[in-house]
Structure 1
């Protein structure tokens, strides 16, 4: 967690953190869903 360049740097760092966290949630959600669908027994 490093921000340089004053308030603009803080804004950029915050934006990157939010984007990275959002992508991580989407990827983890997709992975869990794919694993769940692959292991469900079809009736």
Structure 2
């Protein structure tokens, strides 16, 4: 699931030359990564 999402995101960024869209996508994935990391830390 995660690997297909990364592949889709990579192809999406390659097809899109808009840096604003790329930055928004990177910010979203970075924020979700931090959220999942904090959830794991809270479980410990």
Common fold: TM-score over 0.5: yes
- TM-score band by shorter chain is 0.5 to 0.7
- Which structure 1 segments of 5+ residues have no match? 1-6, 35-43
Alignment of 1:1-43 (within 5 A): 8-34=18-44
Instruction: Give structure 1 regions of 4+ aligned residues with deviation exceeding 4 angstroms.
Output: none
- Which structure 2 segments of 5+ residues have no match? 1-16
* 1:3 equivalent in structure 2: none
Distance 1:25 1:33 in 2: 13
**Is the radius of gyration larger for structure 1 or structure 2?**
1
**Structure 1 length-normalised TM:** 0.61
Higher-helix-fraction structure: 2
Q: Superposition RMSD on alpha carbons, in Å?
A: 1.3
Distance 2:41 2:32 in 1: 14
